[in-house]
Structure 1
Amino acid sequence: MRVTVRTVGVEEEFLLVDSETGRARAVGQAVLAAGGDLAGELQQEQVETCTKPCHTLEELGTQVRGARATAAAAAHEVGVALAPLATSPLPVEPTVTPKLRYAEMCRRFGLTAAEQLTCGCHVHVSINSPDEGVEVLDRIRPWLAPLLAVSANSPFWNGDDSGYRSYRAQVWQRWPSAGPYAPFRSAAAYRALIDTALATETLLDEGMIYLDARLSRRHPTVEVRVADVCREPDEAVLVAGLVRALVQTAADAAKRGCAPDPVRTEVLRLAEWRASRSGLEAELLDPRTWRPAPAAEVLDAFVEHVAPALEESCDLHVVRRLIDDLLHRGTGARRQREVLGRTGDLAAVVRDAVHRAP
């Protein structure tokens, strides 16, 4: 008999682009009207897909591919293409979706909101209660930066090479409520932090709690938000598999009475910066020592850390295979730079990604 495991689901954000020029196109509302289970975002040059809660990674992979195909078909209906890129390689002046909330965000946050055309991958894993969810949040903190490195897919920004593998992470950190967080210790303390943040009248609402991981407002899940949208569907499945195992490992550790790693938030910011800068192409900070180590070694440590949970969900072999494939192929950021090096054309970078979107 198969063991009962936590469900996992994925939300992915994509650019909408001209299939010839590679330029981002402000047609989000038209794409939504074309059909499919899609959602709009802050900017009209993007669209979001989501899967249903899944019990197996095979099921999740099927849904990720199906959601991408649905979004690509809706985009085609209005004469554009879907690009799994976390930032636009070509220059763009984003167009804000006409909603009162988004208009207020732009008024309050200026260029931070106006330039925020970035695409992420959010993974939801089921939890039994807010208390369990906060115990999980406190214990997954050290391993979130490696997830960013795995997903790195945004080396270019407005026509320039940023020097980063995930420049989306740098842009996202402009929000006052984004990034790593300190341990909460209890669901009551988590709620108190949100209430305090809202009472400052800096944020519009609870939806702007943009921490790397949080309790979902709408679902009984932990939502891990640190990753770029992945170029390949298999990379999205890999991120989701690692996140689910990480959540289970954290919940098990809490039941055993194991305290969270006391690492300071400032160190987590350093770890995330390094993951953003180099992806898997140089050293990351190893959460076991907080010293630099080769990226492949850190991924081995990640798998070792969550191996019992991966075995329980029958995912260990799949995750190891997906990691081996990723290390051989390279991240989306590496692929983008390779295409630019071969063609000298950022439009070709976009077209290359579009070809593989479904």
Structure 2
Amino acid sequence: MLAAKYPRPFGVEEEYLLLDAADGRPVDRAAELILAMPERAGQTEHEYFTSQIETATPVCHEAYEAEESLMRFRVLASREASFRGVVLAGTGLPATGGETAGTVSPKRRYHLIELQMREAAAHQYSTGMHVHVEVPSPDAGIEVLARLARWAPVLLAMTANSPLWCGETTGFASWRHVMGLAWPVSGYPHGFENAQDYLRSVASLIETGIVPDAGLLTWVARLSANYPTVELRIADAQLEARDAVAFAVIVRALVDRALADYTNGISRPQYPLAIVNGANWTAARNGLGSELIDPLSAESSPAFDLVDRMLGTIETELDRFGDRNRIDRYLRRLREGGDPANRQRAAYESAGMAGLLELYRAAGVADAAA
């Protein structure tokens, strides 16, 4: 039995932008901030630009473990950032300053990426939230990837959180997703036959020089190169830790449902990859504000109809893992306030950059138990 009787292990990686507290532009203070938090050594990492930092939870079995880890980090990092005139921001992109090329972190691999990707990487202030869910084998992980594809547009829309770029509204809820399509390997991966097929394709991408290593496979979902997990990378960084964790346990439930279907001999759904990626692009534009496309039927529906349809497939898993009440609260917040991109737009329209920075500050240390 591949589906888990007990809560399936998962983990969350969060990336954050460091923004000037006066004008909201990215500031190169990652090294300074990391040194100021020795108690988080090993849990705080440099990212591609020196205006970004990353943290990760330990392996978690219960949602509260992930929430406590992320909240502790956010509170500590936000405090140290504030001492330095910096705002720690949970947003997929900076609202301003993106026209300036980022400063690449002093790491050999990052400089190799800079050399190979050139202008395509120069403004990639992309900041995401990645969910890792344990799978029993790489072959099982390939089955999960194939079955998650249907829900990718919904998952993207729920977490869309990058509506602004270079001081302007983009008309998209997740401009980060659109910018991510500039990488050489992007979008949703096609349906691999098995793990061997997947690994053979990855090896070819590296051997031909398309990417320098498996870490630059910027598909929105992939097998982790370092852990026995499926890694969903579709989400923008989130305003609040509680929303990041609620989303993560939805992903965990979807993975467990996919494994149960695989175990029970239910065939993979079939959808053209072009429909999946087109539906994702539409979700990046619309967020939860209008309609989304179901790749299985290739039909549009109101966004929350598809959210409800997705959640209806994992009721058993949410109950078994003890996550139902958390997801009910998360869904209520989304229905009342819209996706996080909507909150960013509202703050910016009402109070400009000052209002947006205050939203980041307040959301970064919001009471996780609320």
State the TM-score, normalizing by the size of structure 2: 0.92
**Once structures 1 and 2 are overlaid, which stretch shifts more, 64-73 or 266-275?**
64-73
1:320 deviates by 2.3
1:264 deviates by 1.1
* Structure 2: gaps (5+ residues): 366-370
Aligned to 2:54: 48
1:50 deviates by 0.9
Aligned to 2:24: 22
State the TM-score, normalizing by the size of structure 1: 0.95
8 Å contact from structure 2 (residues 151, 310) kept in 1: yes
8 Å contact from structure 1 (residues 286, 293) kept in 2: yes
SS at match of 2:313: helix
How far apart, CA to CA, are the structure 2 residues paired with 1:288 and 1:206? 29
Aligned to 1:293: 301
How far apart, CA to CA, are the structure 1 residues paired with 2:84 and 2:22? 14
Match of 2:355 among 343, 348, 354: 348
How far apart, CA to CA, are the structure 2 residues paired with 1:75 and 1:56? 29
1:241 deviates by 1.3
Aligned to 2:11: 9
1:227 deviates by 0.5
1:337 deviates by 1.1
Q: Which amino acid in structure 2 is aligned with residue 310 of structure 1?
A: L
8 Å contact from structure 2 (residues 92, 128) kept in 1: yes
How far apart, CA to CA, are the structure 2 residues paired with 1:270 and 1:350? 32
Q: How does 1:44-193 map to 2 (within 5 A)?
A: 44-76=50-82, 78-92=84-98, 93=100, 94-193=102-201
Aligned to 1:280: 288
8 Å contact from structure 1 (residues 20, 351) kept in 2: no
CA-to-aligned-CA distance 1:116-143 (integer Å, 9 cap, x gap): 0011000011111212111211211111
Q: Which amino acid in structure 2 is aligned with residue 173 of structure 1?
A: L
1:354 deviates by 2.1
Identity across aligned pairs (percent)? Answer: 33
How far apart, CA to CA, are the structure 1 residues paired with 2:146 and 2:217? 16
8 Å contact from structure 2 (residues 276, 295) kept in 1: no
1:347 deviates by 4.0
8 Å contact from structure 2 (residues 189, 222) kept in 1: no
SS at match of 1:165: coil
8 Å contact from structure 1 (residues 38, 71) kept in 2: no
1:3 deviates by 4.3
Q: Which amino acid in structure 2 is aligned with residue 179 of structure 1?
A: G
Q: Which amino acid in structure 2 is aligned with residue 48 of structure 1?
A: E
How many aligned positions are there? Answer: 356
How far apart, CA to CA, are the structure 2 residues paired with 1:74 and 1:349? 20
8 Å contact from structure 2 (residues 318, 324) kept in 1: yes
How far apart, CA to CA, are the structure 2 residues paired with 1:206 and 1:33? 29
How far apart, CA to CA, are the structure 1 residues paired with 2:188 and 2:24? 33
SS at match of 1:17: strand
- Detail structure 1 runs of 4+ shifted over 4 Å in the superposition: none
Are positions 1:248 and 2:256 aligned together? yes
SS at match of 2:178: helix
1:8 deviates by 1.5
* Structure 1: gaps (5+ residues): none
1:340 deviates by 1.9
8 Å contact from structure 1 (residues 123, 243) kept in 2: yes
Aligned to 2:368: none
Q: How does 1:196-215 map to 2 (within 5 A)?
A: 196-215=204-223
Aligned to 1:305: 313
Match of 1:233 among 232, 241, 246: 241
Distance 1:304 1:288, change over 3 A: farther
How far apart, CA to CA, are the structure 1 residues paired with 2:239 and 2:171? 19
CA RMSD of aligned residues (A): 1.6
CA-to-aligned-CA distance 1:71-109 (integer Å, 9 cap, x gap): 223434544220111111112422111222212211211
Match of 2:266 among 258, 267, 275: 258
1:356 deviates by 2.2
How far apart, CA to CA, are the structure 2 residues paired with 1:74 and 1:340? 25
